[in-house]
Amino acid sequence: MNLVLLIVFYLFFPVFILYLCHKFPIVNKIGAVLLAYGFGLVLGNLNILPEGSNKVQDLMTMITIPLAIPLLLFSTNIKAWFKIAGKTLVSMIIALVSVVLVVFVGYFIFKGNGIKELWKIGGLLVGLYSGGTPNLASLKLILNVNPDVFVITHSFDMLISAIYLLFLITIGQKTFQLILPKYKSFNNPISKDSRNNTENNYWGFWKKQYRVSLLKGLGLAVLIFAVGGSLTFIVPEGSQMAVVMLTITTLAILSSLIKGVNKLEKTFDLGMYLILVFSIVIASMADIKTFTGTAPDLLLYISFVIFVSLILHVLVSKIFKIDSDTVMITSTALICSPPFVPVIAGAIKNREIIVSGLTVGIIGYALGNYLGFVIAQILHSL
C-alpha cells in the first residue's frame, strides 16, 4: 500500500462505514465511530502500512480536527442556551461539576499506579464527558496525547459508556425514582429538525442539493483554521496547539451567531465525517501491544469517573428537587453525547425532554475544549 492509496483509504473508507450504518440497523447500533476505530486498529496492526505513513497520519490528524470543530459548531443555536428550563440548567451545572470533582478525586487515587500521562487523561475525560468525541479529538491535539494512550482511553470509554447506557435504558428511570421525584409534564414542543439531526447516521450529506451549503461551510472553516494557525507565529511553541484549537473553537461559536452561517445545511454531518476520518487515522497509529500493563487501572479510572459522577449528580439533584427524567437526559447528553438523547427519551417514554437534552449536549460541545484544557493544566501542576 503506497502513500497515495493510504490517503485515499483514509478519506473515503468512512463512506463505506456510513453505508453499513445506513443499510443495516444492527450495524448502526454499534456506531460509526466505533467501527472506524475497529477498522483503524486492524489496519495499523497488520504491518501493511507503507514507509512514511506516520507523516501522512500526523498531517491528517492535524488537519481533520481543526476543520471539523467549526463545522460542528456552525449550527449551534446560542439563543436556545438561555431558553432551557431552570431545572435542566441546574442539572447540567451539577453534572459538569460532578465530572470535574470525580476526575480530580480519581486522579489522586490512581496517580501512583503508573498510568501514562494521567493528567492528560483527566483532561480528556473532562472534555469527553462535558462534550463528546469531537472534544476528545481536539484535546488529543491540544494536550499532545500519545496515540496509544488516546485510543485505549476512548476504547475503554466506549465500553463503559455502553454499560452505562444499558443501565439507563433498562432500570435507570425506576432506580432514579427511588431517590428523585417523577417528571411533571408541561407539553413542551419538540423540534423536528433537532430530533432528525440526532436520529440520522450522517448518510447522504454529499448529495447535490447540499453541495453549495457545504462548500460555504468548508470555506469558512478553512478561513477560521488559517486565522487560528497564524497565531503559531506569535505564541510560544509549547502552547501553540492549545492557542490554535481554543481560538478555532471561539471563532466557530461567534460565527454561529451569523444567521447565514447558522442556517447552512449539513455542516454538522460533514464535521462528523471528518471525525470518522480522524478516528480511522488515529486508531491505525496505535499498537495493540501497548494495551497491557496499566490498562486495567485505566479501565478502573474511567469506570470510576462515569459511575461515581453519576451517583454524585443524582444525590445533589435530590437536594435541588430535580426530577429523575431531567437528570437522566442531562447526564446522557454530557456522558454519551447528544445523539443518544432521543434514544433515552424514547426508552423512558418522555419525548418532551428531547429539546432540552439536545441543547445541553450542544452547550457541552462548545465548553468541552475549554474545560478539558484548564483541568488538565491544573492536574499537571499538582
Residue 212 is predicted with a pLDDT of 93
pLDDT of res. 178: 93
pLDDT tens-digit map of 186-215: 544 433 434 444 445 677 788 888 889 999
**Rounded mean pLDDT of the chain?**
83
Q: Determine the pLDDT at residue 185.
A: 67
Q: What is the pLDDT of residue 83?
A: 61
CA 286 to chain CA centroid, Å, is 20
Of all residues in the chain, what percent carry a pLDDT higher than 90? 29
Closest CA to 276 of 61, 59, 130: 61
Could you report how far apart the first and last alpha carbons of the chain are, in Å? 46
pTM above 0.75, yes or no: no
Task: Give residue 188's pLDDT.
Answer: 45
Q: pLDDT per residue over 43-95, tens digit each?
A: 887 888 888 888 888 888 888 888 988 888 888 777 666 666 678 889 999 99
Residue 333, C-alpha cell as written in the block: 447528553
Give CA–CA dist 129/16, Å, rounded: 28
Closest alpha carbon to 122 in 288, 309, 250: 309
pLDDT single digits (tens) 338-372 = 767 766 877 787 777 777 787 788 788 888 889 99
Q: What is the pLDDT of residue 290?
A: 57
Sign of CA dihedral 352, 356, 362, 368: negative
What pLDDT was estimated at residue 162?
76
H helices of 111-146, where?
A: 118-130, 133-142
Q: How would DSSP label each residue in 29-77?
A: HH-HHHHHHHHHHHHHTTT-PPTTHHHHHHHHHHHHHHHHHHHHHTT--
Q: Report pLDDT for 245.
A: 76
What average pLDDT score do residues 36-40 get? 83
- Sketch the domain layout of the chain as residue ranges: 83-194+204-266+285-381
Instruction: Select from 291, 257, 325 the least CA-distant residue to 154.
Output: 291
Residues 6+ apart with CB under 8 A from 257: 78
In Å, what is the CA distance from 327 to each residue of 165, 171, 314, 320?
14, 14, 7, 11
Count of C-beta atoms within a 10 Å radius of residue 199: 12
pLDDT of 375 > 90? The answer is yes
Residue 208: predicted pLDDT: 86
Burial class (CB within 10 angstroms; exposed 0-12, middle 13-18, buried 19+) of 22: middle
